[in-house]
Amino acid sequence: MPEPDPSTAQPTEPAQPARPARPERFTAPIGTRDVLSPESERRRALVQRFADAAELAGYRHLATPMFEDLGVFTRVGASTDVVTKEMYEFTDKGGRAMALRPELTASVCRAFTEHRPAVLPWKVWYSGPQFRYEKPQKGRYRQFDQVGLETLGSEDPDLDTEAIALAWRFFRGLGLRRLRLLVNSLGEAAERAAYVDALAAYLSNHLGDLSEQAATTLQRNPLRVLDSKRSEDQPIIAGAPQLSSFLGLASVTHFERVLAGLDALGIEAEVSPKLVRGLDYYRRTTFEFATEALDSSQNALGGGGRYDGLVEALGGPPTAGVGFAIGVDRTLLACDAEGVFDAPTTALDCFVVDTTGSLYGFEIAEALRRAGVATDRSWAGELTEAGLGRPRSMKAQMKAADRSGAQVAVLIGPDELEAGAATLRPLRGGPDRSETPQRQVPLDQLVAAVLAELGR
């Protein structure tokens, strides 16, 4: 390359130091949220409550994948919005059509078909996130948590009652009072189909009077027209054929047994002939738990029903099934609205303050944790030239100890190091604690002394 001729070269501006490009900032995707402490602990406590209730009634935990072959969900129903409009579908790198699960009942039936459990009925409970591409709003998210349970392999109506009663007890145990239980029977497959035909014919005759939205819904799923909240649809809905007149003797007997069971358990149920629910697979019993503490757009805290026939649709043997799912996010919103089920307290027990830079404080913290004492400690503010952590000042560490909410501090300075001891300082002086001044304790008695200080 020829050298530039200095006589013709233009003076150039001094080069500006290149400003490092600011990295792109991300937020959680629309319709999803990060759940931070203490709300995250509250969620975990809620799931634990549900697990306890389910296991007390003989349900065992089942964990299934968060994504399945797309077909697992499309079999659930071609006229279900959850499947046709809201599913997170994708093709994996092997070219397989997959979907993030929008609900868990189909996955449970797929697992049942795959593993063919020897002992029936198969009673399982589950918890975890579901994914639906919905229009996000309060109480309606694109990723939301459910807890739920399913029983496969028995037509016994008392299992319907057991499931409803378990959910009811769970909600009441959280402290929720403004709760309504709605129940209905959709009849067996042929009865439901005959009703849907009659309803479709009736609604088609009144097409001109229906709202535009209901007219569109009619093409996809006539039953869902009954859910319409629009005022212009109400007179048409009021005059529609009643599902109850399409039920055969076996369906009526089944439903009456469920109602009698709920009555025997002292659970007040409202029979709601228009309760059809959003998923296609329901047969016979359906139910929903509605709260009066939230707006009607998000007042369903949970729901379920019978889905005899779903296992067959997934390639399994004819198998009866019943279950429900509860929306964790909405249940917690209802708890907020009723002022019940607070977040558990997660305060620390003990904070170790160590100004020596030795490993002494670390060992003490580990010993306390092994004894079940919730312990944290201060960490190096910066590294020394040798690459070791330089301890923060006593003042800074004590500030961190106070902020941590711990009840007791264990202090280690050069004197303690020398004496093979630690100083125990009560931080939250209750009426009896204020009597106990800080004191030096030999190392081998420290764990016992901290436990005594905590009243354990």
Q: Which of 50, 73, 122, 141 binds ligand HAM (CB under 6 A)?
A: 141
Rounded to a whole number of angstroms, the CA Rg of the chain reads 31
Q: Which of 50, 54, 64, 103 binds ligand HAM (CB under 6 A)?
A: 103
293-312 footprint of ligand HAM as x/- string (CB under 6 A): -------xxxxxx-x-----
Measured at CB, which residue is nearest to ligand HAM?
327
The stretch among 33-41, 115-123, 146-154, 237-245 that binds ligand HAM (CB under 6 A) is: 146-154
Three-state DSSP class for residue 362: helix
Rounded CA separation 156/100 (Å) = 32
* Cβ atoms of residues 70 and 89 within 8 Å: yes
Handedness of CA 277, 282, 283, 289 (dihedral sign): negative
Distances in Å between the alpha carbon of 340 and those of 145, 171, 335, 336, 377?
Answer: 19, 11, 5, 6, 33
Could you say whether residue 324 binds ligand HAM (CB under 6 A)?
yes
> CB of residue 358 vs ligand HAM: minimum separation in angstroms?
51
Q: Which two tokens stand for residue 273?
A: 């002939």
* Cβ atoms of residues 317 and 293 within 8 Å: no
The stretch among 59-67, 201-209, 324-332, 448-456 that binds ligand HAM (CB under 6 A) is: 324-332
How many residues bind ligand HAM (CB under 6 A)? The answer is 27
* Cβ atoms of residues 226 and 184 within 8 Å: no
> CB of residue 62 vs ligand HAM: minimum separation in angstroms?
12
Rounded CA separation 220/280 (Å) = 11
Residue 338 CB neighbours (<10 A): 18
Could you say whether residue 132 binds ligand HAM (CB under 6 A)?
yes
Could you say whether residue 146 binds ligand HAM (CB under 6 A)?
yes
Which residue, 43 or 132, has its beta carbon nearer to ligand HAM? 132
Task: Considering only residues 147 through 176, tell me which ones interact with ligand HAM, judged by CB under 6 A.
Answer: 148, 150
Could you say whether residue 329 binds ligand HAM (CB under 6 A)?
yes
List of residues contacting ligand HAM (CB under 6 A): 103-105, 132, 134, 139-141, 144, 146, 148, 150, 278-279, 300-305, 307, 323-325, 327, 329-330
